[in-house]
Amino acid sequence: MSAFKDARHLFRFAGLFVLAFLVFLVVRHYYVPKSFGQYGHYRGAAVGEIANLPVKFAGHQACEDCHTDVVAKKNTGKHAHVNCEACHGALASHADDPSTVKPVLPDTAVLCARCHTASAAKPKGFPQVEPAEHSQGLPCETCHNPHSPGMDAPATAAGGAK
């Protein structure tokens, strides 16, 4: 008998592997999207799909073109580098059509606390407060102008705080 007399079960096993590999190739052919690998290890068509999503943020330049008074105010204080939409949310729809889409003004109790609530994780130099204790129940904008929050140029309401 041949030298492979006791090896036949191995060939059968190898055959199974080949079969499994063929099944894998067939399944792969149907399941891998057509544009996969077009540019790299991802679905090429995704680029176009993402580019077609509606734009949500207008960018601060757009806001500044129309709201020049707010920009002027904002540039006088520490919020100069905080972008409009960081506080007002995504407003491309308003920027495209200001007369139909009216932005809802932010609730300062939520908004200001989001950035300024004291936390050990924040850099020491960043201005932080315990909102409830600090504001004593008054809305932040009673004393701080959101667009220029410093105390050296007191806000209009409540006679300004000191």
Alpha-carbon span 87 to 108, nearest angstrom? 9
Nearer to ligand HEC, 20 or 66 (CB): 66
Alpha-carbon span 57 to 101, nearest angstrom? 14
Alpha-carbon span 149 to 143, nearest angstrom? 8
Nearer to ligand HEC, 46 or 109 (CB): 109
Using CB under 6 A, list all residues that contact ligand HEC.
Answer: 58, 60, 62-67, 70-71, 74, 77-79, 82, 84-88, 91, 94-95, 98, 103, 105-106, 108, 111-116, 125-127, 129, 131, 134-135, 138, 140-144, 146-147, 149-151, 161-162
CB of 124 to ligand HEC, least distance (A): 10
Residue 161, sorted as left (phi over 0), alpha (psi -120 to 50) or beta, turns out to be beta
